[in-house]
Structure 1
Amino acid sequence: MLDWRQIDTVLLDMDGTLLDLHFDNYFWLEHLPKRWAELSGISVAEAKQQLEAEYQELNGKIEWYCLDYWSKRLSLPITELKREVMDKIQMRPDTPAFLTALKNSGRQVILVTNAHPDSLSLKIERTTLASYIDTLVSTHEFGVTKEQQELWQQLQQRFGFDPKRTLFVDDSLPILQSAQRFGIGHLLAVANPDSQKPSRAITEFPAIEDYSVLLAGIKGAANGSVISE
């Protein structure tokens, strides 16, 4: 699946890639509409309809991921509302072993998320991600998202990685396509980002459902072995 001898840097998405996307789907599609309906006096069904229409309009833009934007737009304390259901924030069960193998391999490993810094902080508080990854980046630092080429240009300038010798893992196909356009040499999709939903059939990129299939290759390449997957 991957030739780890050709990979020096690993860029990792967070939600749906290292963490179970169920929390985010539940919050944005269920919890937030319910709480907004309570405040505004409209029905939950109407709140869902209005919010989902706005989500579609802003999809891929920095505003979609910005908690400050939604707090102002809805007059709601979004971060506090996330805390109400933060028990749903969970790492994927296959994530710890995967991150441990990457860390032990000596490769440069960078988390790159479109999540707002407050959301990133909440998830770092709730999980052990920070114990595995030294460099955690929110694209809000750059003012552009992973869907945009400007983000990849700025990332490469900051960290100095060779795109051809870089692996990027994400659950979003449009974002993987953006990375591909930039020239990232190795791309991997996550087929099952939400544990409460069935896996997706992905044909555009190599895809996995469990990181355990990668562990032997990571360790073998680190030890100088030739392992074909």
Structure 2
Amino acid sequence: MFPWHKIDTVLLDMDGTLLDLHFDNHFWLTLVPQQLSTQKQISLAQAQVLVEQSYHKVVGTLDWYCIDFWQQQLDIDILTLHYSLVERIQMRQDSMPFLEALATAGKQRILLTNAHPKSLELKLEHTELARGLDGMMSSHETGYPKEHPEFWKQAFAKYDLDPSRCLFVDDNENILEASRLARVGFQLGISNPDSQKPNKDFIDFPAIDDYQLLHQDLLAAVKG
């Protein structure tokens, strides 16, 4: 699928790409409205409308991904709620074999996530993800989300990357496009980010639903 001899570094999203997005979808679309309904003594339907309106106002910005912002905006202890749901934090079953295959093939593996550092810490604590990475960076370190060109400029500088020799993997097509505009050489979508939902279609980028599809190519890359 890719000319691996032209790729030195694989840049990887976290939620929906290496971790099952079911945790985040359940948290933000079910648990938060339930908590808001109880706390404000309003109906669940009213709470869902309130939450969706709040989300819509900041989608694609750094606030969208910020735990501190949502704690203040919704007056809910978001971090404590996260900890109440840790059993749902799961890696995709194909993630670690893929990360290990990348290492065997001599590829650098860097996590680039919009997740808030507190959320990132929680997920690293409850998975083996860190073991499969050579570096990691949260957009909150830069002050810009991955949707913004400044994020990519800072990521390239931090890890001294040649963007043309990078592959970026993400489940969000808008962010894949942002990486292409930042001159990242190769993009790959993940069509099944949430294990409990149907696959989604990608329009402008190749996409897979199983990293095993890349293993033969990686083995060939190792053999040269």
* TM-score under structure 1 length normalisation: 0.95
Structure 1: gaps (5+ residues): 225-229
* TM-score under structure 2 length normalisation: 0.98
**CA displacement at 1:84 relative to structure 2:** 1.0
Quick one: which amino acid aligns to residue 82 of structure 2?
Answer: K
Distance of 1:21 and 1:174 partners within structure 2: 17
CA RMSD, Structure 1 to Structure 2 (Å): 0.9
Identity %: 46
Once the two structures are superposed, the pairs formed by residues 63-142 of structure 1 within 5 Å of their partners are 63-142=63-142
**CA displacement at 1:85 relative to structure 2:** 1.2
**Counterpart position of 2:152:** 152
**Counterpart position of 1:40:** 40
Q: Secondary structure at the match of 2:19?
A: coil
Q: Deviations over 1:64-101 (max 9, x none)?
A: 10001111112221111011111111111111110110
Contact 2:112 2:136 survives alignment (8 Å): yes
**Counterpart position of 1:201:** 201
**Counterpart position of 2:187:** 187
Contact 2:146 2:152 survives alignment (8 Å): yes
Distance of 2:197 and 2:57 partners within structure 1: 24
Distance of 2:140 and 2:77 partners within structure 1: 19
- Alignment of 1:221 onto 2:218: no
Q: Secondary structure at the match of 1:38?
A: helix
Distance of 2:173 and 2:195 partners within structure 1: 18
Moved >2 Å (runs of 4+): none
**CA displacement at 1:134 relative to structure 2:** 2.8
Q: Secondary structure at the match of 1:168?
A: strand
Deviates more, 1:185-194 or 1:52-61: 52-61
Distance of 1:165 and 1:96 partners within structure 2: 22
Contact 2:9 2:166 survives alignment (8 Å): yes
Contact 2:11 2:167 survives alignment (8 Å): yes
**Counterpart position of 1:23:** 23
